[in-house]
Amino acid sequence: MSPHSARQQFLWDRMTRRDLIQIGALAPVGLTLPRMLQGRALAEQRSPRRDSAKSCIFIYLSGGPAQHETWDPKPDAVAEIRGEFRPIATRVPGTFVGEHLPRLAQVADKFALIRSCTHNDIRHSASSYHLLTGRRFAGPISGSDAAPSRSDFPAHGAVVGQLRPPTRPVPGWVTIAEQFVTTPAGIAYPGQHSGFLGTHHDPLWISNDPNAANFQVEGLTLSDADMASLDARWRLCQRVDNLTRRLENDRQLQGMSAYQERAMNLLTSPTTSRALQVDHEPSGVRDRYGRNSWGQSLLLARRLVEVGVPLVSVFLRDVTRADAKVPFGQWDTHTDIFPNLRDKLLPPFDCALSALLTDLDARGLLSETVVVAAGEFGRTPRIGQVLTGAGARNGRDHWPWVFSMLLAGGAIPGGLVHGSSDRNGAYPTNHPTSPSDLAATLYRLLGIDPSGDIHDVQGRPYQISDGRVIGGLVGG
């Protein structure tokens, strides 16, 4: 190694591995540092359109919610297709949703529904990848599960965080959830990280329950002693850096120092710290979202976009970690579908999402924040229909050929229903829409040209999206 390279490596080691990672434990939670900040600087030259949304909250309903019981009821179908729930009218004339979404029904003028989403993969892992990245999974398959790889296409949050970096010292992408893995194999689902963009664009993972009394984000809580130590180390790095620059007048090294300083600001940012303090919210606001993991996760998401985080992913999966009153549940309702939806899943979801949309609107944030609520697929039109071997007489199996999702905020017209399914809720009858089309639409709403390029860590170009912008939701 040349003396020049050795000095650069020395500065890098002193500032990140030895100092920041040591006291902040940043690598495990995915908080990015100087390399990420260098990438941001290049992206900051790209100015989005004035009417573009500033941020996105992407709510992943992992497991796949049943379209018949939520956004696309079929009251005229036979009982084994119709199911036990009845439809209820919404605030939008002629639009009906499932009866256990009464609060969302009353704010239907704030969101749009897509009832014609479709693809053809029945596996959770590959379908989740398609939903979270906008690309079909093309990697190797282990059994029935797709394994993640650093050659994967990056998730929406990584692309947005790179091309629309925050202007304040906050993370570019935050995920509120434990990492989603298969059971019992324990393989992480692909599509949850930055893939070929590199680890420096991975999300800040918030895996602790925001509803817990002692909630905090590991690695971002610094004591007074930590702060004093960090400040001393930073001053030492500055002295070494200044001496090296005087010796070499190295422009690249000067630039690195600026990125190190911004990384330091990110770690010690009061903006980030305050946004994570959900317990500072008024009690009445927390109650409206629901005193459970889901409700407080969406409240935390609102606080994060409020301070400038470009994209927040929320995985509404396990609702029980700190709230015994809300039993375990997720949207993969192979068995006992009706009691699970009625008693465990739909009430906290209805409460939390309606509160989020109302709260964003009241704060003037809905017009600049895109909200997506979607699972990776829907459920079989016929109760007890078995496709994967996991179905049962009292549940619905995986069904990717038609499903529904909710979008709100930004330029999305409230009260709109886009596309439709057939009389049994089995296939689209018009406007078929893929997860790739959702990705293209999301990027367009955020002021990113979906036909543009992103580059992997080796500089190779890839088109941002191979989908089509959904007509009617946003101009093509």
Domains and CATH numbers, the chain: 31-222+268-463 (3.40.720.10)
Instruction: Convert 333-365 to b/e letters by CB count within 10 Å (16 or more is b).
Output: bbeebbebbbebbbbbbbbbbbbbbbbbbeeeb
Question: What are the CA-CA distances from residue 421 to residues 290, 349, 384, 402, 427 (Å)?
Answer: 32, 23, 20, 7, 5
Identify the pLDDT of residue 236.
52
What pLDDT was estimated at residue 237?
A: 53
- CA 427/CA 117 separation, integer angstroms: 9
pLDDT in tens, the chain (476 residues): 544 444 434 333 444 433 443 334 344 444 444 444 444 444 443 455 556 999 999 999 999 999 999 999 999 999 999 999 999 999 999 999 999 999 999 999 999 999 999 999 998 889 999 999 999 998 665 556 677 889 999 999 999 999 999 988 889 999 998 777 766 667 788 899 999 999 889 999 998 899 999 898 865 654 444 445 545 554 555 555 554 454 444 444 444 444 455 455 555 678 888 899 999 999 999 999 999 999 999 999 999 999 999 999 999 865 444 444 443 448 999 999 999 999 999 999 999 999 999 999 999 999 999 999 999 999 999 999 999 888 777 999 999 999 999 999 999 999 999 999 999 999 999 999 999 999 999 999 999 999 999 999 999 999 999 999 999 888 65
Residue 183 has what pLDDT?
62
Question: If you search the block for the tokens 């543009």, which residue do you land on?
Answer: 452
| Token pair of 286 as six digits | 């927390």
Q: Please give the distance of CA 123 from its chain centroid, rounded to a whole number.
A: 20
Cα–Cα distance for residue pair 405/116, rounded to 1 Å: 9
Q: Are 192 and 180 in contact, with CB atoms under 8 Å apart? A: yes
Q: Which helix (H) or strand (E) holds 146?
A: strand 145-146
In this prediction, residue 270 carries a pLDDT of 82
Give the 3-state secondary structure of residue 261. helix
> CA-to-CA distance for 315 and 321, rounded, in angstroms?
14
Q: What angle do CA 13, 14, 17 make, to 5 degrees?
A: 55
Beta strands 453-455 and 428-430 are unpaired
Which of the 8 DSSP states describes residue 473?
Answer: T
The per-residue pLDDT for 441 is 98
* CA distances, 8 to each of 4, 265, 295, 343 (Å): 6, 21, 46, 58
Q: Is the whole-model pTM more than 0.75?
A: yes
Q: What is the pLDDT of residue 343?
A: 93
pLDDT of residue 284: 98
Lookup result for tokens 């989908």:
467
| pLDDT at res. 240 | 53
Q: How far apart are CA 150 and CA 157, in angstroms?
A: 15
- 204 within 8 A of 29, measured Cβ to Cβ: yes
